[in-house]
Amino acid sequence: VQLQASGGGLVQAGGSLRLSCAASGSILSIDNMGWYRQAPGKQRELVGAVAGGSSPNYADSVRGRFTISRDVEKRMIYLQMNGLKPEDTGIYYCHAHVITIIDPIAPRDYWGQGTLVTVSS
């Protein structure tokens, strides 16, 4: 199973970016997908996630500015980031809790390689 994230870059404060993440490989189904981020010198934190047909949940720091959407058929998740702030700077990782074809009774967590988002003031 691989997760491929894209869409990071450099943007000025107040700007927008859209991240995408595609899951591929021996996937039977995906329980939930989400985005995490890690700022320099800090621990990785949840940005937001969506499970099945539920509404996404968000960290307080991004609620109202970021929007997660998911395409179940395409096995993709998106993160629309508006009103970006310098404190949003970090490496953004997509995550998926996957039921694999090879071992369907033992779902596993998979991570993308990370994409860098830099917000200048």
pLDDT tens digit string along 45-104? Answer: 999 999 977 899 999 999 999 999 999 999 999 999 999 999 999 999 999 999 999 999
Radius of gyration of the chain (CA): 14
Give residue-wise pLDDT tens across range 92-115.
999 999 999 999 999 999 999 999
